Structure 1
Amino acid sequence: MNDPRSPAETTALWQRLASASVLLDGFHALKHALRFGAAVPVAVTADRHAALALADELAPDVRSALEALLTEVTPSAYAALVPRPHPTAVAALAVRPAREERLRVLGRAAREAPVVVLDNPRNLGNAGAVIRLAAGFGVTGVVTTGTLDPWHPTVVRGGAGLHFATAVERLDVTELPPGPLYALDPEGADIRGLKLPDDALLAFGSERSGLSGELRARADQLVALPMRPQVSSYNLATSVAMTLYHWSLTATGVPGGA
């Protein structure tokens, strides 16, 4: 099949849409976005044959969509469209889901999986890793408080395009969805003695300063992860993974759940 557009047409469309779109940086981000229903109006590659061969090997379910979508451009044209060229030499632009729809998903009364809350996170890569984890566990969504944009290109890159598999939004603490809030804190109750409800908000403090006073005051329960004495802390994504795994042991909505 021929490329859907000429390189010049594709570049012009990219430049017109870029400022209002989500950058999908790399083959895997584009693959995941397509799998979870993202609207992708334009995609480029510096090597169409290699990209489609990768689809044959790793993502045959979206191969036909990629064949219809990908336009080959020169390596220099590809590098000019993205801030940091990906080793797979693939990039795309996706339509960001409507905020109203994300808020509806987060706020529904009978959630079957928790919402992860990152309280004032600082590291873009960590936020992306958490979104990837959340998508893997099938949680309802990931909410950030503070100034970090959870749709920043570096976060989307770290999340491998899985923002489209869960509801990702930035909110103030006062705007958090309803539900019992379990906040991770070294002074909390040992998580091994708790059952985390499916409609819980699972809150994690920033990498440097931990939970904010505002979120701590909102918490219904402080929860601690098991940790060897004299070890200061876990990486944020590791803490989220441990907590979601504990939840999944008794959940019904995730692979391996009871």
Structure 2
Amino acid sequence: MNGTYQPDPDDALRVWREVADTSVLLDGFHAIKHALRFGAPIPSALAGDKAAVLALADDLAPDVKDALDALLVQVPEGTLRALVPRLHPTGVAALAVRPSRAANLDALARMPRTAPVVVLDDPRNLGNAGAVIRLAAGFGATGVVTTGTLDPWHPTVVRGGAGLHFATAVERMDVSELPPGPVFALDAEGEDIRGLKLPDDAVLAFGSERSGLSAGLRERADHLVSLPMRPQVSSYNLATSVGMTLFHWSAGRPPGAEA
């Protein structure tokens, strides 16, 4: 495509308003790029400067340029900012259809598994949750489950996840409903992770940023494991802990192995 196609902006804005309340906001080029790569249905995508977004795709993601050209509708930037007040610096936003809960739960429950499930036990920070989803998708984890009140599909979490919610199964569940598999819960008093091999079907559980593991999750755990940490350092950032643990799991797999 040559980048000249331009659907009617009024029609595009009407579709946006019709689906906005039931859709996932993809805020910025990278979120839309990842959502397209992993097959997210996108009923509406708007840009303040379509040519600039397509030029960005030329540089960073030529594999999605044609799809973006077909999807994007240029509207005045002020109109776009009225719809998305915290507009990403790349000046583009889209709405995507959230995967069905039933499909995600099926993916999380399916055994045998070739990659772990990450559990965030009652997380509180939306940005941290998004960063974890991005990490989990990068490592090919089966999914990310949150317990507690935080919505893992909150717009701030999706923004932090850079659209990679569509690359892995993301759901909120009760501790009693966690996916099958041995639960390895991270705890400062646990066994040093460096002496363990984490199985592909592991459920890797991480406590909240402030209070750690809940009593229910601790009771559910099959193993308590700890990350190496020098004395007098109290904790790691949640996303850092998840990244270290997933790297430890991946280090036990042959190079090039696909999850």
Given that residues 6 and 74 in structure 2 are in contact (C-alpha distance below 8 angstroms), is that contact kept between their aligned partners in structure 1? no
| CA RMSD of superposed structures (Å) | 1.2
Given that residues 181 and 203 in structure 2 are in contact (C-alpha distance below 8 angstroms), is that contact kept between their aligned partners in structure 1? yes
Supply the distance in 1 between the matched residues of 2:138 and 2:213 (Cα, whole angstroms). 25
| 1:1-258 matched pairs, under 5 angstroms | 1-252=3-254, 255=256
Supply the distance in 1 between the matched residues of 2:123 and 2:84 (Cα, whole angstroms). 25
CA shift digits 1:15-52 (9 cap, x unpaired):
11000000000000000000000000110000111000
Given that residues 127 and 150 in structure 1 are in contact (C-alpha distance below 8 angstroms), is that contact kept between their aligned partners in structure 2? yes
Q: Name stretches of at least 5 consecutive residues in structure 1 with no aligned partner.
A: none
Given that residues 183 and 223 in structure 1 are in contact (C-alpha distance below 8 angstroms), is that contact kept between their aligned partners in structure 2? yes
CA shift digits 1:57-101 (9 cap, x unpaired):
000000000000000010101101113111000100000001110
Supply the distance in 1 between the matched residues of 2:4 and 2:70 (Cα, whole angstroms). 8
Given that residues 102 and 167 in structure 1 are in contact (C-alpha distance below 8 angstroms), is that contact kept between their aligned partners in structure 2? yes
% of aligned pairs identical?
71
TM-score by length of 1: 0.97
Supply the distance in 2 between the matched residues of 1:242 and 1:250 (Cα, whole angstroms). 13
Supply the distance in 1 between the matched residues of 2:250 and 2:218 (Cα, whole angstroms). 24
Give the letter aligned to residue 156 of structure 1. Answer: V
Which 4+ stretches in 1 moved above 6 angstroms? none
Shift of 1:123: 0.3
Supply the distance in 1 between the matched residues of 2:111 and 2:35 (Cα, whole angstroms). 27
Shift of 1:55: 0.3
CA shift digits 1:143-200 (9 cap, x unpaired):
0000000000000000000000000000000000110000000000000000000000
Give the letter aligned to residue 65 of structure 1. Answer: A
Supply the distance in 2 between the matched residues of 1:55 and 1:237 (Cα, whole angstroms). 28
Shift of 1:140: 0.2
Cα 1:4–1:49 shift into 2, 3 Å: closer
Give the letter aligned to residue 50 of structure 1. Answer: A
